[in-house]
């Protein structure tokens, strides 16, 4: 089942969209996931922006997400973490570390 929202959406907005698309209240999701209603509300409002992986997995199970949607929710949670790096920024820094031969030159002494 698709999420209807790309992983570029902030975690809280994505969580709310997924919950509402399943016509669940915060209380119903709390009961289904084992996560407190207050915590879910805080995540949706952006007050709690760094959920643990186990929390995201519990929410995904409570929402009945398939693997792809679960992965999207995990990606949104990771992106919300301070210092999170996009795949593009990781590729760019890897390119800067390569020498002329295309292999990493990090840590080498000349």
Residue (of 57, 11, 12, 13) closest to 35 by Cα position: 57
Q: What is the pTM of this model?
A: 0.67
Tens of pLDDT, residues 41-81:
999 998 887 899 999 999 999 999 999 999 999 999 998 76
Place of tokens 């519990």: 58
The counts of H helices and E strands in the chain are 6, 0
∠ CA 84-88-89, rounded to 5°: 55
As a whole number of angstroms, the distance between CA 44 and CA 86 comes to 22
Nearest of 42, 53, 60 to residue 78 by alpha carbon: 53
How crowded is residue 33: how many other Cβ atoms within 10 Å of its Cβ? Answer: 21
> What mean pLDDT is reported for the chain?
78
Residue reference for tokens 């890897």:
94
């Amino acid at each position: 089942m698709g999420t209807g929202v790309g992983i570029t959406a902030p975690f809280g907005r994505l969580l709310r969209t997924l919950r509402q698309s399943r016509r669940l209240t915060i209380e119903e999701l709390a009961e289904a996931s084992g996560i407190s209603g207050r915590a879910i509300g805080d995540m949706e409002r952006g007050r709690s922006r760094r959920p643990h992986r186990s929390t995201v997995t519990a929410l995904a199970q409570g929402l009945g997400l398939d693997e792809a949607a679960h992965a999207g929710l995990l990606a949104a949670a990771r992106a919300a973490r301070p210092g999170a790096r996009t795949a593009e920024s990781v590729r760019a820094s890897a390119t800067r570390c390569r020498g002329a031969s295309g292999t990493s030159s990090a840590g080498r002494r000349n």
